[in-house]
């Protein structure tokens, strides 16, 4: 028993990501792009699993130009066959999958409107991509991770859940479901060395323009956060990279906010 604890403590000091293969969905732009760039900078191999093929390749080109390694795989997370193909390609290329960051989502393209005005097809799409997409990707990588007795799954939820943001109900509903999914998945995978956590960003400003961003909204965020400045993708990188390390191996089934103190549990 003492031996097991001592080994765990030794692993707890290991923050190295070198050579780890981490699939990041929706990494063709915005926050996911920054995750991919920073995983590569830390010596990991990010897989940009993105529905927009051109954007996926652009991010990989950026990483390679900076001296890193990365792979682009055109992936529709809402399509089981596409996800299976992507996982097969990654296994063919590297023979391992260490991490999955479920970052893809229908987000920046959404219009804010009262829930009574949300068309059913838009509701269905948001839930299909934001919830079912995370189920499909996790379902595809879990056997590979279980086999190696090591894995990290991170589901990206949103501060809009505890805040209960209005005029966005399909999105808030989808991100809320990911918290339950995280808790349940963590229970199923814990005995196999696979941790599952949710990361909860606040309002984060990227290179992608969004109709939903107003000056009043930005000002409200700043005055509500403990740290009164705009959140940027780099603010999320430390937590997401850390959760993929050996050192984070005893953290599972948690939803962790990284939002400058916008929300409290």
SS (H, E, C) 70-87: CEEEECCCCCHHHHHHHH
**How distant is the alpha carbon of residue 178 from its chain centre?**
11
- CB 32, CB 55: distance < 8 Å: no
So which residues are the catalytic ones? 171
In the DSSP assignment, the letter for residue 262 is: S
- Minimum CB distance to ligand NAD smaller for 150 or for 179: 179
Burial 210-246 (b: 16+ CB within 10 A, else e): bebeeeeeeeebbebbeeeeebebebbbebbbebbbb
- Minimum CB distance to ligand NAD smaller for 150 or for 168: 168
Q: What is the dihedral of CA 120, 125, 126, 128, to 10 degrees?
A: 120
- Minimum CB distance to ligand NAD smaller for 7 or for 229: 229
Nearest position to ligand NAD, beta carbon: 30
Taking the complex as a whole, how short is the minimal distance between the CB of residue 244 and ligand NAD, in angstroms? 16
183 is an interface residue for ligand NAD by CB under 6 A: no
By rule CB under 6 A, what count of residues binds ligand NAD?
31
- CB 38, CB 244: distance < 8 Å: no
Interface residue with ligand NAD, options 22, 47, 51, 90 (CB under 6 A): 51
237 is an interface residue for ligand NAD by CB under 6 A: no
Taking the complex as a whole, how short is the minimal distance between the CB of residue 249 and ligand NAD, in angstroms? 24
Interface residue with ligand NAD, options 76, 90, 196, 262 (CB under 6 A): 76
- Minimum CB distance to ligand NAD smaller for 95 or for 119: 119
Cβ within 8 Å of residue 53, ≥6 positions away? 72, 74
- Minimum CB distance to ligand NAD smaller for 87 or for 150: 87
**Taking Cα atoms as reference points, which of 23, 25, 69, 81 lies closest to residue 50?**
25
137 is an interface residue for ligand NAD by CB under 6 A: no
Tell me if residue 197 falls in helix, strand or coil.
strand
Interface residue with ligand NAD, options 195, 203, 255, 258 (CB under 6 A): 203
- Minimum CB distance to ligand NAD smaller for 230 or for 246: 230
Interface residue with ligand NAD, options 44, 97, 144, 158 (CB under 6 A): 158
Strand partners, 24: 48, 101
32 is an interface residue for ligand NAD by CB under 6 A: yes
What single string gives the DSSP state of each residue in 152-163? EEEEE--THHHH
Taking the complex as a whole, how short is the minimal distance between the CB of residue 149 and ligand NAD, in angstroms? 28
The footprint of ligand NAD (CB under 6 A) covers 25-26, 28-32, 50-52, 55, 75-78, 103-108, 129, 133, 156, 158-159, 201, 203-204, 206, 208
């Amino acid at each position: 028993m003492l031996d097991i604890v001592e080994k765990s403590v030794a692993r707890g000091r290991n923050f190295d990501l070198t050579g780890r293969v981490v699939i990041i969905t929706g990494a063709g732009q915005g926050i996911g792009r920054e995750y991919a760039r920073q995983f590569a900078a830390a010596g990991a191999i990010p897989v940009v699993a993105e529905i927009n093929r051109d954007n996926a390749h652009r991010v990989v080109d950026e990483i390679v130009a900076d001296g890193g390694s990365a792979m682009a795989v055109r992936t529709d997370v809402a399509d089981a066959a596409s996800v299976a193909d992507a996982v097969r390609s990654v296994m063919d290329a590297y023979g391992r999958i260490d991490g999955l960051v479920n970052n893809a989502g229908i987000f920046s393209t959404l219009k804010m409107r009262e829930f009574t005005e949300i068309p059913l097809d838009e509701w269905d799409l948001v839930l299909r991509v934001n919830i079912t997409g995370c189920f499909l990707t996790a379902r595809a990588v879990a056997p590979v991770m279980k086999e190696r007795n090591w894995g990290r799954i991170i589901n990206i939820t949103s501060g809009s859940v505890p805040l209960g943001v209005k005029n966005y109900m399909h999105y808030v509903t989808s991100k809320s479901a990911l918290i339950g999914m995280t808790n349940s998945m963590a229970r199923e995978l814990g005995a196999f060395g696979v941790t599952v956590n949710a990361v909860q960003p606040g309002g984060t400003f990227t290179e992608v323009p969004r109709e939903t961003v107003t000056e009043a909204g930005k000002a409200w965020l700043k005055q509500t956060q403990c740290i009164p400045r705009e959140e940027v993708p780099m603010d999320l990188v430390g937590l997401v990279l850390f959760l993929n390390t050996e050192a984070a191996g005893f953290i599972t089934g948690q939803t962790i906010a990284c939002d400058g103190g916008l929300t409290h549990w």
